[in-house]
Amino acid sequence: MLIEVLKTIISPVAFAAALRLSCPLIIGSVGGCFNEKISTGNLAYECFMLVGAFFGAYGSFISGSPVIGSLVAVLSGFVLALIYGLLVYHLNCNAMIVSIAYNNAAWALTTLLLVVIWNTRGQFTDPRIVSYSTLDMDFLKKVPFLDTLFNNNILLVYLAYIYAIIGHIIMYMTPFGLRLRGVGSYPMAAQSAGISVRKYRWIGLIIMGCSMGLAGSYMPLSGMSLFSENMTRGRGFLCLTSILVGKGDPLKTTVIALLFGYANAMTLVLSTFNLPTQIVSMLPYVAVLAVLLMVGIRNYKGAKNITGDTI
Amino acid sequence: MQNEEQHYLEMRNIVKSFGPLIANNNITLKVEKATVHALIGENGAGKSTLMNILSGIYKPDYGEIIIDGKKMHFRNSFDAAKNGIGMVFQEFMLFDDLTVIENIVYAYEKTRYGMFIDKKKNREKVEQICRDYHFNIPLDAKVSEIPVSLLQQVEIVKVLYKGAEIIILDEPTSVLTPQGVQGLFKAIRFLIKNGKTIILITHKLKEVFAIADEITVLRDGKVTGNVKPSEITENELANMMVGREVLLEADKDPVEPGEVILEVKNLTVKDKEGVVRVKNVNFDVHAGEIVGIAGVAGSGQQFLVEALFGLSDAEKGSQILFNGKDITNGTPRDARLMGIGYIPQDRLNAGGNPQGTIWENAIMGYHVAHGFKSKVFLDHKEIDEFSDRVVAQFNVKTQGLNEKLKSLSGGNIQKLIVGRESIQDNKLLIIEDPTRGIDVGAIEFVWEKLLAITREGKGILLVSHELNEVMQLSDRIYVIYNGVLIEAGNYHEKTEQEIGLLMLGGGEDDVWK
């Protein structure tokens, strides 16, 4: 039994599932890196993702096209970012409070919309929510291992990895990225260099909002064609954790997101065994704690230093 | 008016007010090209406001700026930089997380294909500037990893990179050693020779005489003097700044040291990365004396103090004895209970609570230790009585005990904190940079109080970056260099140059030639 389990968790199928399930985490957290680097305390990742998931489903439902669905999801993230920025940047609301309100309101809002639009509770399944179809690449078919790993995924999955690379290039190779990092590191200095801190904060926030919306649209449109209450189930927070552990570096963040995706895949592949489901579904969260513990041990520098570096 | 000779830079009749406060009241400043123009005055005299106007950060309410005969209207600091104004702030405007070269080119990057940073071109230009002006800085190091004196050079290279013709230096010497200052002055003279114009903001009269070609003195937002250094004495200049006699020498009597109160043996402290910051340090403090530790910022003094007060751990084999009792690796609370007072360098955030009221700050750290509390609740009668005493004895200018700490000026905050620690029944005070960034009047006041405290038989360990302060106040002087403590004689035994040399770890003789 143990050997069977071990075989399964290192099987190509498991890794393929990990690559697939990491997709929303990567898209969301790479965009979130730009929010993290400007350090304005926006923690409302769960909200952006859940609302994105709803509008992804809704957009696809009314248009019959998953691409339109994703665009509507991006738009919803954009609007949420606008409201957030208005509250925090212009009306000086506390970022932490707004974030908590956002995260809590998201569940209520999407459930309300579920009732109002589709007149149902819990879950809405309908063939009119058109999912992305998988891309079948012939040239991969002949390579046994790579075929399982990379073939037959939806567009968004491939996009996620391209997105990570583009994110890295923008962050570290363009003037825009340099300025953005500076704004987060020491706003006063950026200001003295003639940079509009507020502009960069807005841009970082909007990149994050749109990316999280897009990431959210993966969930209803990846094949299941349904929307359910609290569909994201903490994936937004997984994005946030990836970003914090990866220190806002898009590539490092992607690696952490992959790790979470792998833990997520475990819950799927291990469900075929007769293991208690509660324990199996704990895996992604245990993975979070394990990663934090490892990072904590690596950075441990004696007990007497009080660092406020928790967020 | 118009026929008067044209200066390179003229700021005419500048007025700027913030609410009821008039920071600049009709100030006129004229600067010749390729000279060093010193702008001096106490804290709050309006120097920084005036320079912020010149560098485009503030807009003046009234008045005009003329450069090379052309009237300027700076919309923002970008605009001012484009017109050749570069400012090096006292608090460095550098990004800790970025590398030196990223800091230098920030917001002025050269690009490839219009979108990517052209790292090669940037580097060539920065290296060219470093060669031309003899700066030697590690371009790829992170800013958080390099020493303060280099940070200043980074700032100067930064403004040169942006094409500055007029460079404003805001108190550039506040963290440098005498040798560092010499190095800076050498660089300034070099810049002048190359046609750059320098405006030097400073508190320090000696520097003015050493380097300035012309001096403008500000007091309370007005110009009180415009002179050449050759035409005036230090005392006259000081009088223009404050309007009364200021003696920058402490009134110190020789003391008879009493018994040993603090004894430090073989103290070694490592930092978070495991680097040894304090190496095998031995010294003691007697009752009634001031022991001064001078040193360049970052030489380990901060770790030394933190270990003494229980804020960081000492390594095995270290021993700290207070009145004969071992307090190695104790807690700050133990230290306070036993009668050790501590005045940290960062008075606003480590020494007090900026959001708290005056009375809260006046009892901070002693709210339990010294009985401001009767069983459960705070005893407000006693608190008010004590706070009033601090405010009165230490001449803290405040609207009342319920005023917030952050609304006080730096000098008054420092007086409050020195008062809090010294009125308590402490036997030993550990003090870091007691007069950093406060005005001449307040410095004098704090110095006098510190001397008065020792006359009561208390011991003081004074750790300061200001060499003059250590020399003026200390009975015995040590220098800390790279974590090692070096004896530097008794009061007035060694000269400023000799001690400054020790602060650099020996140094060569030709430094002073």
Residue A309 clears pLDDT 60, i.e. is over it:
no
- What band does A161 get if pLDDT is binned at 50, 70 and 90? very high
Residues above pLDDT 70, as percent of chain A: 96
How far is residue B419's CA from residue B391's CA, in Å, rounded to a whole number?
Answer: 8
Nearest CA in chain B to A302: B272
Query: Is B508's pLDDT higher than 60?
Result: no
- What pLDDT shows up at residue A250? 95
Residue A310 confidence (pLDDT) above 50: no
Answer with the residue of higher pLDDT: A289 or A205.
Answer: A205
Helical spans, DSSP H, in B258-406: 301-309, 332-338, 358-363, 380-393
Mean pLDDT across B132-155: 85
Above 80 in pLDDT, residue B273?
Answer: no
**Whether pLDDT at A65 is above 90:** yes
Whether residue B497 has pLDDT greater than 80: no
Sketch the domain layout of chain B as residue ranges. Answer: 9-242, 260-512
**Which pLDDT does position B504 carry in this prediction?**
65
Q: What's the half-sphere exposure (Cβ side, CA atoms, 13 Å) at A287?
A: 22
**B476-481 and B484-490 strand pairing:** antiparallel
* Type of residue at B175: V
Query: Min CA distance, A172 vs chain B (Å)?
Result: 9
Set of chain A residues whose Cβ sits within 8 Å of the Cβ of B102? 178, 182
Q: Is B350 on the interface with A (CB under 8 A)?
A: no
- C-beta separation of B362 from B390 below 8 A: yes
Residues 262-291, chain A: which have Cβ within 8 Å of B?
none
Computed over every residue of chain B, the mean pLDDT equals: 84
Neighbours of A5 (CB within 10 A): 14
Measured between CB atoms, does A180 come within 8 Å of chain B?
A: no
| Residue A257 pLDDT | 93
Mean pLDDT for the stretch of residues A113-129: 91
What percent of chain B is predicted at pLDDT more than 70?
A: 91
| B57, B93, B105 member nearest A189 (Cβ) | B93
Residues ≥6 apart with Cβ < 8 Å to B68: B8, B9
| Residue ranges covered by each domain of chain A | 23-249
User: Does the CB of A308 have a partner CB in chain B at under 8 Å?
Assistant: no
Q: Tell how strand B428-432 and strand B340-343 pair up.
A: parallel
B182 or A187: which carries more pLDDT confidence? Answer: A187
DSSP 8-state symbol, B404:
B
Q: Do B106 and A194 touch (CB under 8 A)?
A: no
Taking CA atoms, what residue in B is nearest to A183?
A: B95
Q: Is A164 helix (H, G, I), strand (E, B) or coil?
A: helix
Identify from B95, B98, B100 which residue to disrupt to test chain A contact, counting A C-beta atoms within 10 A and taking the largest count.
B95
pLDDT at B368: 65
Instruction: Pick the closest to residue A236 from A1, A17, A4, A31 (CA basis).
Output: A31
- Min distance B274 CA to chain A CA atoms (Å): 8
Instruction: Quickly state the pLDDT bin for B60 (edges 50, 70, 90).
Output: very high
Q: What is the pLDDT of residues B311-342, one digit of tens each?
A: 888 998 899 999 989 988 888 888 888 889 99
Mutate one of A198, A304, A307 to test the B interface: name it (highest B CB count within 10 A). A304
pLDDT in tens, B412-463: 888 899 888 888 888 999 999 888 777 778 888 889 889 988 888 899 999 9
Distance from CA of A81 to the nearest CA of B (A): 26
The dotted CATH code for B260-512 is: 3.40.50.300
List chain B residues with CB under 8 Å of A301: 272-273
Asked if B93's CB is within 8 angstroms of A188's CB, the reply is yes
- Count A/B contacts: CB-CB distance under 8 Å: 75
Mutate to test the interface with B, among A36, A173, A183, A186 (most CBs of B within 10 A): A186
**The pair of three-digit structure tokens given for residue B368, joined into one six-digit string:** 């339990």
**Mean pLDDT along residues A75-86:** 96
C-alpha separations of B10 from A64, B33, B67, B142, B208 in Å: 69, 11, 6, 38, 21
CATH hierarchy code of domain B9-242? 3.40.50.300
* B232-261 pLDDT per residue, tens: 887 777 777 765 444 467 777 777 888 999
What is the pLDDT, as a whole number, of residue A215? Answer: 96
Q: What are phi and psi of B77, to 5 degrees?
A: -70, -30
pLDDT for B511: 34
A194 reaches B (C-beta below 8 A): yes
Query: Residue A289 burial by CB count (10 A; 0-12/13-18/19+): exposed, middle or buried?
Result: exposed
Q: How confident is the model at residue A169 (pLDDT cuts 50, 70, 90)?
A: very high
Name every chain A residue with its beta carbon within 8 A of the beta carbon of B312: 302, 304-305
Question: Taking the alpha carbons of B307, B310, B312, B313 in that order, is the dihedral positive or negative?
Answer: positive
What CA–CA distance (Å, rounded) separates A192 from B300? 31
Same fold flag, B9-242 and B260-512: yes
Is A111 a residue whose pLDDT tops 90? yes
Mean pLDDT for A207-226 is 93
Q: What are phi and psi of A60, to 5 degrees?
A: -70, -35
- Extended beta strands in chain A, E state: 123-125, 134-135, 153-154, 226-228
pLDDT of residue B509: 37
Does this model's pTM top 0.80? My answer is: no
pLDDT of residue B505: 60
pLDDT digit string, tens, across residues A234-270: 899 999 999 998 989 999 999 999 989 998 888 888 8
- Are the C-beta atoms of residues A148 and A13 closer than 8 Å to each other? yes
- On the question of pLDDT at B149 being above 80, the answer is no
B153 three-class SS: helix
For residue A163, what pLDDT band results from cuts at 50, 70 and 90? Answer: very high
User: Would you call A173 and B311 a contact, using CB atoms and an 8 Å cutoff?
Assistant: no
